[in-house]
Amino acid sequence: MHEADLYDGDGGRILLEVALPDFPRLAKLWADSHYSNLVAWLHKRFGVELEIVSQLADQKGFVVLPRRWVVERTFAWLGRSRRLSKEYERDTSSTEAFIYISSIHLVSPQ
């Protein structure tokens, strides 16, 4: 987590510096255009390809963007958990724990 007034691309760099060493097999990430300044840096620093998913220049109206639906669907599934429907927690580790619990519930056979 970082300050709310930090530009997404700069916050992404901070996050990736901390998180990527824990995922050495990660080869590709998808991001929106706010993170386009990280493409070369990410490849040079970690050898990870960053694909920017953005709207087409001639696009009009709503169009589902590639890979974006995966993130939106996941947030929707997690938002169906009552505890995650609002930000009730004081500590981010509590929120993280409830995300794990909700994710386990999602993949467990009913």
DSSP calls for 79-109: HTSGGGTTT--SSHHHHHHHHHHHHHHHHS-
Task: Please name which of 52, 47, 23 lies closest in space to residue 37, comparing C-alpha atoms.
Answer: 52
Percentage with pLDDT > 90 across the chain: 34
pLDDT confidence band for 2 (50 / 70 / 90): low
- Tens-digit pLDDT profile for residues 85-104: 887 778 888 888 988 999 99
Q: How many CB atoms lie within 10 A of CB 55?
A: 11
What would the pLDDT profile of 32-44 be if each residue is shown by its tens digit?
888 999 999 999 9
Whole-number Å distance between alpha carbons of 84 and 73: 15
